[in-house]
Structure 1
Amino acid sequence: MKLCRRFCFLLCIAGVRWSGAGADAAPTELVGTAGETVTFPLEIPAGETLDNVGWTIGTESLAIAVPGDPASVVVSNRRYRGRLRVPNAGLALHITDLRPEDAGSYTARVTTDKSEFTRLFTLRVYERLPQPMIHCNAQSCTNGLCNITLSCTIPNGGSKVTYSWSIPQPPSMTSQGSIAVISHPDLLINITCTVQNPASNSSTIASVEALCAGHSSSAIIIVVCIAIAIGVLGICGYVLYRRKKKGKHMNFEGESEKVEETQNNTLYAQVGFNPSAPRKPKRSGGNGAVNNENPMTIYATVQPQSQAAMQTDDEKMCKGNTTSPHQKEKQINCTDEMPPGTQTLPML
């Protein structure tokens, strides 16, 4: 119970700003790696005994550390629960499993049996850098000299990352950040890319020949794909052209068949008088008898001009014309008989 009252008292005074002698004028810079542990070290004057340490982050209370065997810590910020340790009899603070959001300004308010003072810290948290990857962006070899452009990248990028390049041989090389340009008579060289941030560093070594061989293969694949695409488009165009041409040919054949079907059709017509028109009797001979003419039927076989010579109706009607043996059947018959199925058309 006494210990609990002491903790409550310490928590109440944790928010009070002390300005005791020995306060640091500038904060101590600390760098941590995400997922690892960072240590905030403390010192007290010789001959003094530590009473307690109140920790804050920004303006928020973090914890109260009390020396002992072992030392104890009361965590007041739930975001840090389970991640704070107090080693060295309370003269240090460990934060485990660091997170990027743990970065910030920390203050330690130290109370001894003889004095009070403050220590300031600034914590920066960085991700551990993975192994970088080197890529061949471009290459050209002319007059016995190859110019190669390389790039160095890391997944997910990162802040405060710097790049450096190195090669064992002394060919001409220029670099700017993650890009390097090499001029060399051949590609039989190795190159190293190193990435670094305040918390970690990583590097990789690659053969320029192997990198650029893959780049050449990619270019060949692109050219082959373009050629295949052009070939497929050409085949599709040819197929569409053939289908269109075939459709026109079929339409022409259909029209030709219709013409052939009508070439040998026989047309029939019955020549007579219009019943509604007044008839004028026609006298025959000298006896004054009226000749009532019967209707007369005319039928003919109609053929194209190329198959029979052109003749007028007056030349063909009711005459004894003989058809040339070289001409096909084309005649007009005058008869009083009407073939079966003939329709009568009145002549006006």
Structure 2
Amino acid sequence: MGILGGSVLFPANVSQGITVEKMEWDFYPQRGGLGLWLGEFSHGKLEHPSPTDRFGQRLDMVDKTTLRIKGLELDDGGIYNTRIWFNKAQFQEQSFSLTVYEPVPTPQIHHQVESKTPGGCNVTLRCHTPGREELSISWETGDPHRALGKSVNQYQVSDNGRELRVFYWSSSFYSKFTCLVSNPVDQKRASFDLLSICQSDEGEQYILSFIIQRR
């Protein structure tokens, strides 16, 4: 796995003490299309057949058996194959799979007050993320953050994980809720403190309890 704009290493598994004569690399894109010959590494140098192709100068070898790709692009995702030659008659093949992910966008929490009484208020929090990439969304509470527990008697999460319905009243402990958005290589958070909206007319603050309503 890699992140857009980052770099990734493909270290071939070669037993210590074995001499590698050369390595050949090719690439088959994740999104379909023809395979691409990446080059041959021998005598301490990577011979790249076409420096003007889509990889340009983004390929190098960090040691005798490890290929590096820099400045990762989304279309770099796919299968990378290497043929490791020990002599003119003996070789070994290995493959590496790469998926490139975009950095996670910073989420925003939108709130809607459903009802309000002197003893507390009923609020829906919605975690909004721009873009179309599939992301994992979860909720945390407190500071430092801790994942919400699984007790359905206290709270539930909407089916898509984006909505949290909260009842704020006088016998609970936390007022701060955090939306955690992640993919396999990155994560970001946004927090919202219910103290900013769940107060009595006299300004008296109430401690938190919450219900997350499953839809």
- State the TM-score, normalized to the length of structure 2: 0.73
- 2:85 counterpart residue number: 111
Is 1:40 aligned to residue 10 of structure 2? yes
On the 8 A contact 2:121/2:198 being kept in 1, the answer is no
Q: CA deviation at 1:135?
A: 0.7
Partner of residue 197, structure 1: 183
Q: State whether residues 107 and 121 of structure 1, in contact with CA within 8 Å, keep that contact through their aligned partners in structure 2.
A: yes
Counterpart Cα distance in 2 of 1:126 and 1:211: 36
CA distance in 2, matches of 1:75, 1:86: 15
Q: Cα offset for 1:76?
A: 4.0
Partner AA of 2:121 in structure 1: C
Q: Is the 8 A contact 1:134 1:150 kept in 2?
A: yes
**Hey, what's the Cα distance between the residues in 2 that align with 1:45 and 1:143?**
72
Equivalence for 2:166 = 182
1:285-335 residue CA offsets vs partner (Å, 9 max, x unmatched) = xxxxxxxxxxxxxxxxxxxxxxxxxxxxxxxxxxxxxxxxxxxxxxxxxxx
> What stretches of structure 1 of length at least 5 have no aligned partner?
1-30, 214-348
Distance 2:197 2:82 in 1: 52
Computing the radius of gyration over CA atoms, which structure comes out larger, 1 or 2? 1
Match of residue 97 from structure 2: 122
Contact 1:136 1:211 in 2 (8 A): no
Deviation, 1:60, is 1.8
1:123 is aligned with what amino acid? L
Pairs within 5 Å for 1:145-156:
145-156=120-131
The answer as to whether partners of 2:113 and 2:121 remain within 8 angstroms in 1 is: no
**SS across alignment from 1:101:** helix
Measured in 2, the distance between the counterparts of 1:174 and 1:119 equals 46
Classify the secondary structure of the residue corresponding to 2:37: strand
**Deviation sequence 1:226-282 (CA, Å, 0-9, x none):** xxxxxxxxxxxxxxxxxxxxxxxxxxxxxxxxxxxxxxxxxxxxxxxxxxxxxxxxx
Which structure has more relative contact order (CA 8 Å, sep 6+)? It is 2
Q: Give the AA of the match of 1:120.
A: S
Q: Once the 2 structures are TM-superposed, how far is the Cα of residue 207 of structure 1 from its aligned partner? A: 1.4
Write out aligned runs for 1:44-193 (5 A). 44-58=14-28, 59-69=34-44, 71-76=45-50, 78-89=53-64, 91-113=65-87, 115-142=90-117, 144-159=119-134, 161-168=135-142, 172-176=154-158, 177-185=161-169, 189-193=175-179
The change in CA–CA distance for 1:57 and 1:137 in structure 2 (over 3 A counts) is: farther
More strand by share: 2
Structure 1 or 2: more helix by fraction: 1
Kept in 1: contact 2:58–2:69 (CA 8 A) = yes
Deviation at 1:34, TM superposition (A): 0.5
Query: Is the alpha carbon distance of 1:192 and 1:55 closer, same or farther for their aligned partners in structure 2, counting shifts above 3 Å?
Result: same
Kept after mapping to 1: 8 A contact 2:107/2:189: yes
When structure 1 is superposed on structure 2, of 32-41 and 143-152 the one drifting more is 143-152
Runs of 4+ in 1 over 4 A off after TM superposition: none
2:79 alignment partner, SS class: strand
Letter in 2 for 1:162: S
Q: How many residue pairs align between the two structures? A: 180
How far residue 198 of structure 1 moved from its aligned partner, in angstroms, is: 0.8
CA contact (8 A) 1:166 1:192 kept: yes
